């Protein structure tokens, strides 16, 4: 006897079926309930609840809930001696073998057959054929017939390739396994030949459609069972064709009885609005009078806003209307798009969630460990080995043999070492160099070497074993699977990692083990390379899914509109109800396109629904989703996807709004309808809502939410955010508390280099030296490491010849090149790991620096020939320690040039050993607790004695990138590094007069070794730049230098401006102006340090101009933090070019001493007072002041 129960969605057809089940088991019979795979748990729970309500829980023991696959297995195992069934993993492995079989020759698919994903795609295509009841023999027969099944030559060729693969695959599979799709067909055959159905009570529920083999089995059951009852949501009288596909299946099952009249009563107690919506959707019958309060349409700005609304509404339903979480379902039209936003929003609102969306295992951390290992075995490049080391599931053996996880510091050291020294895979097999480099690099290298030994060496040993087996043609699928599994247990501690993991680690490991087992079995004697093994393993992982069971009894169900069904749902949210997504318009046709599948369907090879059938089936799926709940239905959609693509609402929503004008689309961001009270339902949601007001001008809302945070005990969070919500631009929001600033910038020392960076932008300084977020830099022939090497060559050469300058002048360019090569090699051996460990490209570029260094030394030869200054100090440190006393210069002996051969009366021979001596640094008092020392190292210091006996000193700095000094910039803290050193040096040695600062451009050149080459060097950017403190002695020295230097470099016909050889006129302050400059620099330094330690790290860069560089200069041009500062090149402090005259007077005008006694020193004479200019009175600095003189943009 067969009974078919049909009814509309409001009719509880499942409830009718359950009543018959309870009646059957109550009479002493057993009941077999057949449902789709995803409904087993919900069906068992509903039936147990039904038995409990009747007061007879023992009846549940007579109920068996089964899937069609399990029923098929029971029938086949009972009446046949079948081989073990092949799961999807095994099928993919066998398809891989079939694709590479010598028996298969492919024409159309040959190129793509070895691409990733082909084997799983081909398995899906074969499944479509088998589901449609077309086996390999039947397909081959159609292709070998007189008339080709399709007219398209391209489609016919493709079909022949697929048929060849289908035949080979089916032959290999049938030798060892049984296809589960074939099992259902065999089960239908056995059920028709034997009496399996005799005496059974069969109940079928929850299906929206059936495959051909499923329909055959259920048809036999309906004919031979003692009682078979089917329940379907179907109305044969409906004229909208929604039920066309399911009606065809019911016709096949009911036979001559036909489709019964549907149940139309609202036995589910469904809300009127949902009933009317289900009856009128996709019709032309409006109903403006119906009560549609149970149906709502919500528009959100994006997916995150959509999920926030859904979470807040769920929280309201539970807290205010008494709903349970288990009575609410969220169905997503695009699960992949909505999963992450949903999990984030539900966590924020503290809503328990069961995600009924299977997750692909490809990107899981445990899967990544195995895939990265296989990829490293195939190609042990640095990138692949790094991916393996970074895996969170990797364990290595400790000192005592125990397994331990690599720390983040270990991984960072290993990664940083490889990146810095640009190592390749082959170099990772050798011991890392842990000497011949800086102290910091040595520490990193030692730690990286420990990681290499623990993690990389075992992988390389395994790779060697595999290569030996491959040479002997013994690397089979079975051996490789065993060897890799053994390695995972013995070398990576996989068992410990899995046991200590959470979130389904054991379930995922079971799937991965099944992949190894499938490859071991299917490719036991098949030779396979590691690369092919990796590709196969990855393809399988890209298709395998992990479904997690519910962890809580009472939780919201998050599923998709096509597969998720649940019992006793009162409120349903259909999220992502956008055009093309709800109803879903996609379809899967394997390796065929939808058009090709349509052509095959026209030629009696129907492997999928036709477009018209798919259209009606998708509408039926949408109908079922809309009628899942009994009380409330929400259709929500975002205006933007997570990829910022514009979305439009679904045709379902358009129809509802047209048919029911009483339904109004609501906006989730409507403050009047969904204000703060609606969204602020938990502590975290209140925080998020308050944070969303960042920059909002509505002070009332801010005040209300702040008070709410205070009442909830979270007032400190409001205070922290309050510092950010300012009326000033985003660039001014960066502030720390003084306590935090003092902890972050701990220590009482700041180098002059860092100080200059602080002056340029406080936020960049905060990121780089406070947070220590620094960009990794490789060792190449164009970065600061190479600049240090050039510094090293110049320092070593000049320190060697500083007391033998005549010998230095006699050195030829070739000799200077050899000297440069020697010191470059010495530097590489000491600080760069040795040249033998560097790449050929690096060594080529690095060795080429010798020519550039020789060019710089040629410039220095001609400079020292022409001027009075001589190098005295090299790499002089400004720090606490032994004091460096400057040498006293005796009277010059007769000669053309001053040399330091005549220097005496100094306890140490020149050059001074500055590695053991230092100059006391400048000290800036920030507050009562903090005094900061300005430390650093000077590249070189030169001295000369004037005819009047005055001793002068200047600071020289090598700049590989070029530099141009400007006093106005210095008053803003830009280019003050050398000035700070000069001030500290002369403060520590009051007997010496400050002479100035000079920047030597150490730019790489390729000038020829001809007399004109020196001029070429200058014209290519090697003109000296700096500042000279001008008095009679220094002016005479400058003029003499310019005259001599021009004579030395010019040939007949050449011309050069002598002004270019000396500092600019506006960079020649008088001694009294320098004293003012000194006070301004110290004051500016004190100001910026106080701001820093008060927590002011605003992103307000200094904007200045510099000779030789186009346009305005600012640190933003090359800043690595501009993406997070909020400035976006919009704000800054512009250097006022008139500040020099206002602060120091007119620069370049000689100082005239006042009338004074003849014996009064010149330095004590007062300068002429410049006339006062009208200017605005400076406002006292306050906490909100930008801290700079000049204009603010």
Nearest to 263 by CA among 4, 8, 627: 8
Q: How many CA atoms lie within 13 A of 563 on its CB side?
A: 13
* pLDDT one-digit tens code per residue, 926-935: 988 899 999 9
- Residue 1185: pLDDT band (50, 70, 90) is very low
- Residue 659: pLDDT band (50, 70, 90) is very high
Nearest to 589 by CA among 611, 556, 604, 571: 611
Architecture of domain 286-358+550-588+615-667: 3-Layer(aba) Sandwich (3.40)
343-369 burial: b if 16+ Cβ within 10 Å, else e:
eebbebbebebbbbbebebbebbbbbb
Residue 735, pLDDT above cutoff 90? no
CATH topology of domain 2-81+184-268: Rossmann fold (3.40.50)
Residue linked to tokens 């089964």: 66
Q: Which of 318-322, 454-458, 1102-1106 has the lowest mean pLDDT?
A: 1102-1106
* pLDDT one-digit tens code per residue, 843-879: 777 777 888 888 888 888 888 888 888 888 888 888 8
pLDDT of residue 1150: 62
Q: Which helix (H) or strand (E) holds 924?
A: strand 922-925
Q: Which of 503-517, 652-666, 1037-1051 has the lowest mean pLDDT?
A: 1037-1051
Q: In whole angstroms, give the CA distance from residue 234 to residue 242.
A: 9
| Distant-in-sequence, close-in-space partners of 989: CB < 8 Å, separation ≥ 6 | 885, 886, 953
Residue 781, pLDDT above cutoff 70? no
pLDDT of residue 1111: 75
The tokens for 816 are: 């200077």
Q: In whole angstroms, give the CA distance from residue 375 to residue 371.
A: 6
pLDDT of residue 725: 58
Q: Which helix (H) or strand (E) holds 945?
A: strand 931-945
Q: In whole angstroms, give the CA distance from residue 211 to residue 36.
A: 12
What percent helix, strand, coil does the chain show, rounded to 5?
50, 15, 40
**Mean pLDDT within 774-797:** 75
The tokens for 355 are: 């995600």
* pLDDT one-digit tens code per residue, 525-572: 899 999 999 999 999 999 888 877 666 778 999 988 877 777 789 999
Please check whether residue 695 is in contact with residue 725, taking contact to mean a CB–CB distance below 8 angstroms. yes
| Distant-in-sequence, close-in-space partners of 56: CB < 8 Å, separation ≥ 6 | 26
Helix axes of 365-378 and 477-490: crossing angle, nearest 10 degrees: 120
248 burial (CB, 10 Å; 0-12 / 13-18 / 19+) is middle
54-77 burial: b if 16+ Cβ within 10 Å, else e:
eeeeebbebbebbebbebbbebbe
pLDDT of residue 883: 62
Nearest to 410 by CA among 445, 383, 448: 448
Q: In whole angstroms, give the CA distance from residue 511 to residue 696.
A: 50
| Distant-in-sequence, close-in-space partners of 953: CB < 8 Å, separation ≥ 6 | 872, 886, 941, 942, 943, 982, 985, 986, 989, 992, 993, 994, 995
pLDDT of residue 997: 93
The tokens for 628 are: 């899942």
Q: In whole angstroms, give the CA distance from residue 242 to residue 1134.
A: 70
**Mean pLDDT within 427-446:** 79
Nearest to 685 by CA among 674, 698, 696: 674
Please check whether residue 1007 is in contact with residue 973, taking contact to mean a CB–CB distance below 8 angstroms. no
φ and ψ of 942, to 5 deg = -110, 150
- For the chain, give the percent of residues with pLDDT over 70: 86
Residue 121, pLDDT above cutoff 70? yes
Helix axes of 212-224 and 244-254: crossing angle, nearest 10 degrees: 40
Cβ–Cβ contacts within 10 Å for residue 610, how many?
Answer: 13
Q: What is the mean pLDDT of the chain?
A: 84
Q: In whole angstroms, give the CA distance from residue 1000 to residue 1020.
A: 13
φ and ψ of 692, to 5 deg = -70, -15
Q: In whole angstroms, give the CA distance from residue 998 to residue 1190.
A: 26
* pLDDT one-digit tens code per residue, 1141-1167: 888 888 766 655 544 444 433 333 333
pLDDT of residue 779: 65
pLDDT of residue 892: 37
* pLDDT one-digit tens code per residue, 207-221: 988 888 888 899 999
Residue 583, pLDDT above cutoff 90? no
Residue 769, pLDDT above cutoff 60? yes
Please check whether residue 317 is in contact with residue 328, taking contact to mean a CB–CB distance below 8 angstroms. yes
Residue 1076, pLDDT above cutoff 90? yes
* pLDDT one-digit tens code per residue, 952-991: 999 998 877 667 888 898 999 898 999 999 999 898 888 8
- Residue 836: pLDDT band (50, 70, 90) is low
Please check whether residue 965 is in contact with residue 983, taking contact to mean a CB–CB distance below 8 angstroms. no
- Residue 435: pLDDT band (50, 70, 90) is low
**Mean pLDDT within 1084-1104:** 91
1154-1179 burial: b if 16+ Cβ within 10 Å, else e:
eeeeeeeeeeebebbeeeeeeeeeee
Helix axes of 840-847 and 849-866: crossing angle, nearest 10 degrees: 20
Strand-strand pairing, 749-751 and 665-667: unpaired
Residue 1000, pLDDT above cutoff 50? yes
Residue 703, pLDDT above cutoff 80? yes
């Amino acid at each position: 006897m067969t009974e078919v129960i049909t009814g509309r969605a409001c009719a509880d057809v499942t409830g009718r079926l359950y009543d018959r089940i309870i009646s059957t088991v109550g009479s002493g019979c057993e009941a077999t309930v057949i449902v789709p795979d995803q409904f087993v748990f919900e069906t068992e729970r509903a039936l147990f609840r039904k038995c409990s309500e009747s007061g007879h829980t023992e009846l549940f023991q007579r109920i068996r809930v089964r899937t069609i696959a399990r029923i098929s297995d029971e029938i086949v195992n009972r009446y046949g001696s079948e081989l073990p069934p092949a799961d999807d993993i095994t099928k993919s492995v066998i398809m891989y073998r079939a694709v590479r079989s010598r028996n298969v020759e492919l024409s159309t698919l040959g190129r793509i057959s070895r691409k990733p994903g082909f084997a799983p795609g081909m398995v899906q295509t074969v499944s479509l054929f088998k589901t449609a009841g077309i086996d390999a023999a039947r397909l081959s027969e159609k292709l070998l017939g007189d008339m080709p099944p399709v007219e398209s030559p391209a489609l016919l060729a493709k079909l022949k390739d697929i048929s060849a693969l289908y035949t080979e695959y089916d032959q290999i599979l049938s030798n060892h396994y049984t296809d589960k799709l074939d099992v259902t067909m065999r089960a239908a055959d056995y059920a028709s030949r034997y009496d399996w159905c005799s005496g059974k009570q069969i109940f079928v529920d929850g299906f929206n459609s059936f495959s051909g083999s499923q329909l055959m089995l259920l048809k036999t059951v309906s004919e031979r069972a003692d009682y078979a009852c089917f329940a379907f949501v179907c109305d044969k009288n409906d004229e909208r064709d929604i039920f066309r596909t399911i009606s065809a299946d019911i016709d096949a099952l009911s036979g001559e009885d036909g489709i019964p009249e549907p149940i139309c009563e609202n036995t589910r107690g469904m809300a009127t609005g949902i009933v009317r919506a289900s009856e009128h959707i996709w019709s032309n019958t409006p109903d403006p009078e119906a009560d549609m309060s149970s149906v709502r349409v919500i528009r959100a700005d994006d997916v995150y806003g959509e999920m926030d609304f859904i979470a807040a509404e769920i929280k309201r339903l539970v807290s205010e209307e008494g709903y349970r979480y288990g009575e609410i379902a969220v169905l997503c039209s695009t699960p992949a798009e909505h999963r992450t936003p949903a999990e984030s929003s539900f966590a924020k609102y503290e809503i328990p969630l069961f995600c009924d969306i299977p997750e692909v295992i490809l990107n899981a951390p445990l899967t990544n460990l195995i895939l990265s290992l296989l990829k490293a075995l195939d190609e042990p490049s640095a990138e692949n080995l790094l991916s393996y080391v970074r895996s969170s599931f990797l364990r290595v053996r400790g000192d005592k043999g125990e397994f331990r996880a690599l720390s983040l510091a270990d991984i960072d050291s290993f990664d940083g070492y490889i990146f810095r020294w640009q190592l390749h895979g082959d170099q990772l097999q050798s011991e890392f160099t842990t000497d011949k480099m800086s102290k910091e690099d040595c520490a990193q290298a030692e730690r990286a070497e420990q990681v290499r030994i623990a993690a990389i060496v075992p992988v390389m040993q395994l790779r060697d074993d595999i290569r030996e087996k491959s040479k002997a043609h013994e690397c089979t699928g079975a051996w490789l699977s065993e060897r890799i599994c053994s390695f995972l247990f013995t070398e990576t501690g996989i068992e410990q990692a899995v046991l200590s993991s959470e979130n389904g680690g054991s379930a995922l490991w079971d799937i991965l083990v099944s992949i190894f087992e499938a490859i071991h079995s299917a490719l036991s004697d098949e030779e396979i390379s590691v690369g092919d093994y990796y590709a196969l393993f990855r393809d399988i992982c890209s298709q395998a899914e992990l479904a997690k069971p519910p962890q809580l009894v009472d939780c919201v169900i998050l599923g998709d509109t096509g597969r998720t069904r649940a019992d006793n749902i009162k409120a349903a949210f259909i999220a992502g109800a956008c055009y093309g997504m709800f109803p879903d318009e996609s379809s899967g046709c394997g390796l065929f396109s939808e058009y090709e599948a349509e052509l095959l369907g026209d030629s009696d090879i129907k492997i999928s629904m036709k477009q018209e059938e798919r259209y009606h089936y998708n509408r039926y799926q949408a109908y079922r989703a809309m009628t899942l709940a009994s009380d409330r239905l929400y259709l929500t959609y975002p205006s933007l996807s997570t990829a910022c693509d514009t979305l439009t609402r679904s045709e379902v929503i358009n129809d509802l709004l047209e048919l029911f004008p009483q339904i109004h689309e609501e906006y989730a961001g409507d403050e009047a309808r969904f204000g703060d009270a609606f969204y602020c339902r938990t502590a975290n949601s209140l925080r998020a809502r308050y944070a969303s007001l960042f920059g909002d001008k509505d002070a009332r809302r801010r005040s209300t939410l702040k008070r709410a945070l205070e009442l909830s005990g979270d007032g400190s969070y409001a205070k922290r955010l309050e510092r950010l919500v300012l009326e000033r631009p985003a660039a001014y929001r960066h502030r720390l508390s003084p306590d935090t600033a003092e902890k972050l910038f701990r220590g009482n020392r700041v180098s002059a280099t860092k100080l200059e960076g602080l002056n340029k932008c406080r936020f960049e300084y905060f990121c780089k030296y406070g947070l220590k977020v620094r960009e990794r830099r490789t060792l190449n022939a164009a970065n600061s490491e190479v600049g240090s090497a050039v510094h090293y060559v110049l320092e070593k050469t000049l320190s060697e010849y500083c007391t033998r300058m005549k010998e230095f002048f006699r050195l030829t360019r070739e000799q200077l090149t050899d000297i440069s090569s020697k010191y470059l090699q010495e530097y590489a051996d000491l600080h760069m790991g040795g040249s033998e460990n560097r790449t050929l490209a690096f060594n080529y570029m690095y060795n080429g620096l010798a020519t550039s260094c020789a060019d710089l030394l040629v410039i220095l030869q001609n400079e020292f020939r022409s001027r009075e200054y001589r190098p005295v100090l090299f790499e002089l440190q400004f720090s606490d320690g032994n004091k460096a006393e400057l040498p006293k210069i005796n009277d010059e002996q007769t000669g053309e040039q001053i040399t330091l051969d005549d220097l005496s009366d100094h306890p140490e021979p020149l050059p001074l050993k500055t590695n053991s001596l230092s100059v006391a640094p400048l000290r800036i008092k920030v507050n009562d607790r903090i005094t900061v020392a300005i430390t650093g190292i000077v590249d070189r210091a030169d001295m000369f004695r004037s005819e009047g006996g005055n001793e002068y000193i200047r600071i020289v700095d090598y700049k590989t990138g070029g530099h141009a000094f400007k006093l106005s910039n210095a008053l803003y803290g830009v280019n003050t590094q050398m000035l700070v050193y000069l001030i500290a040096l002369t403060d520590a040695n009051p007997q010496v007069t400050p002479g100035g600062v000079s920047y030597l451009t150490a730019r790489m050149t390729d000038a020829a070794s001809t007399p004109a080459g020196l001029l070429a060097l200058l014209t290519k950017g090697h003109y000296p730049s700096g500042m000279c403190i001008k008095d009679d002695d220094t002016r005479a020295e400058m003029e003499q230098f310019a005259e001599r230097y021009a004579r030395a470099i010019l040939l007949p016909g050449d011309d050069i401006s002598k002004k270019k050889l000396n500092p600019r006129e506006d960079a020649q302050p008088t001694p009294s102006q320098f004293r003012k400059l000194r006070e301004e620099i110290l004051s500016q330094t004190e100001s910026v340090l106080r701001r820093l330690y008060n927590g002011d790290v605003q992103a307000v860069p200094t904007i200045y101009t510099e000779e030789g560089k186009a346009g305005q200069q600012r640190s933003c041009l090359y800043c690595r933090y501009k993406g997070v500062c909020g400035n976006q090149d919009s704000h800054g402090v512009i250097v006022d070019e008139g500040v020099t005259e206002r602060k120091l007077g007119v620069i370049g005008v000689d100082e005239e001493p006042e009338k004074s006694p003849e014996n009064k020193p010149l330095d004590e004479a007062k300068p002429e007072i410049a006339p006062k200019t009208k200017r605005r009175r400076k406002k006292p600095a306050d906490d909100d002041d930008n801290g700079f003189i000049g204009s603010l943009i």
